[in-house]
Amino acid sequence: MNINELVGKKAIRTGPVDLGNGRKDYSYGTEPLLILAVTEHHVVVEYVESFMKGKRHILDSRWNDENWGDYNELIKLADETKEELAKASTDAADHSEHGESANEDNEIESEPKEEIIH
């Protein structure tokens, strides 16, 4: 996603910046930044976590590229996945209490009943 689309939002890097001579900078790939302003030559960011919280930083034009993602969307996706996993775990526990188990495809199967022969 282009950084211009993220002004006023929390963002995180999705790829490195090419520094030239085969060198790449992978900064900002694990910590979100608030994008405050973007011009042709500069990007103004503010740290929103860590000991740098609240500090502003100016990045040069190399950072004005497509290698950014919406941090809040990423976290929302992670939260949805976590909820689905918790629900699946709860469902599996509920079914096991009733003598059922999930097969490889998460389909519920009842445990076979023992047949009593007189």
Provide the token pair at 4. 């211009």
Q: How far is CA 109 from the centre of its chain?
A: 34
d(CA 96, CA 85) in angstroms, rounded, equals 16
Q: Is the pTM of this model over 0.85?
A: no
d(CA 69, CA 29) in angstroms, rounded, equals 10
d(CA 64, CA 67) in angstroms, rounded, equals 8
User: Mean pLDDT in each 10-residue stretch from start to end of the chain (118 residues)?
Assistant: 96 95 94 96 95 95 96 94 87 66 57 59
Beta-bridged to residue 101, according to DSSP, are 109
Smallest Cα–Cα separation from 69: which of 30, 20, 19, 25? 30
Task: Identify each DSSP E strand in the chain by its residue range.
Answer: 10-13, 17-20, 23-25, 33-38, 42-47, 56-60, 68-70, 100-102, 108-110
Statement: 3-71 belongs to CATH 2.30.30.30: yes
Q: What is the pLDDT of residue 90?
A: 79
